[in-house]
Amino acid sequence: MALLPGDDGPYIFTSILPASAQGKALLDHLQASFGYHPRETWQERILAGAVSVAGDVWFDPSARLVAGQVLAYNHGEYQEPDVPTNWRVVDRGDDWMAIDKPSGQPIHSTSRIFRQTLVWQVRKLHGADWSPCHRLDRDTSGLVLFARTHAALSWLQRSFEHRQVRKEYLACLRGELTQPVTVEGAIGPEVGSMIRSRLCVVPDEPSAGGKPSRTEFVPIRWDDALQGTWCRVHPLQGRRHQIRVHAQHIGHPLVGDPLYDGQGGIGYLARVDGKDAQEVARLSGGSRLWLHSCSLEFLDTAPPGLPRSVRAPLPDGFDN
């Protein structure tokens, strides 16, 4: 497991009890909020003294909670699944840092991964005051900007929100794409999917719950080995899964995409079911998601102390 020195002890997860927890039984709150354990396991963990509230161990599953208090859960000898953690700093200043994230590493904690996340490891090595300024999917590699001060974080986040950052990705799409394609389609939840996180292109109307999105795909060359077309990709917005959803929408899913594969996400379901990496890759059509965030360019003026553009090196296999 790719943990940092000092991360091999019991992991203690802490959270502040929200208003919705007021008066709720401890067991009911844990079951509803943290689904990685079934109700029976949560009851066993409470009785074993693994849960404390406001600094005191609670052994009664029916004890009533008070909003605003700190809940702590000791995972004990829990072992995280292995994920790549070979991230590296590619550029930095006093208050900002550009990091090249590997495919497979989540930025934030998931239900099963805590200490191998990018945020955890950046803060462990560089200080607790660093925060990411934007998002990048777990399976996507490439640039993630971090900021250390509130002023730098606010400036960078506003730049992304106001579309003052041109983002360029390199991707391999299944099948042959011979002409540039611009996809304009609102992105919203995929009703009826077995996977709650899946999105899709929906009608551009309020009832569909979608957000307007535009993505440009510019073909570069054909790849015999991957049976796909390498493209430079420019998403105008930064919607969740935007490139992947739009690629699937035009009938050219990204090579190696376990979630948006044109088959309902069979690779993703296999990974959730605990299948090994080879089986997931076989179902997904590739050893990884072939999507990499190559560069970020500020269109107006760069925030103080930052260069006008930042680039990330290409991973193995991205030889364009």
Show which residues are catalytic.
137
Please, which residues have CB within 8 angstroms of residue 73's CB and are 6 or more apart in sequence? Answer: 12, 13, 14, 30, 34, 45, 50, 51
Q: How many helices (H) and strands (E) does the chain have?
A: 7, 16
- Dig out the tokens for 229 from the structure: 């077309």
Cα(136)–Cα(47) distance, integer angstroms: 39
Alpha-carbon distance of 29 to 17, in angstroms, equals 9
Please, are residues 113 and 81 in contact by the beta-carbon 8 Å criterion?
Answer: yes
| Element spanning 123, H or E | helix 118-126
Q: How far is CA 44 from CA 9, 24, 39, 51, 312, in A?
A: 21, 18, 9, 10, 47
> For residues 114 and 14, what is the distance between their CA atoms, to the nearest angstrom?
12
Q: Residue by residue, what is the 3-state secondary structure of 158-216?
A: HHHHCCCEEEEEEEEEECCCCCCEEEECEEEECCCCCCCCCEEEECCCHHHCCECCEEE
Sequence-separated (6 or more) residues with CB below 8 Å from residue 249: 183, 185, 200, 201
Q: Which residues 6+ apart lie within 8 Å of 116 measured at CB?
A: 1, 2, 3, 80, 82, 83, 85, 105, 106
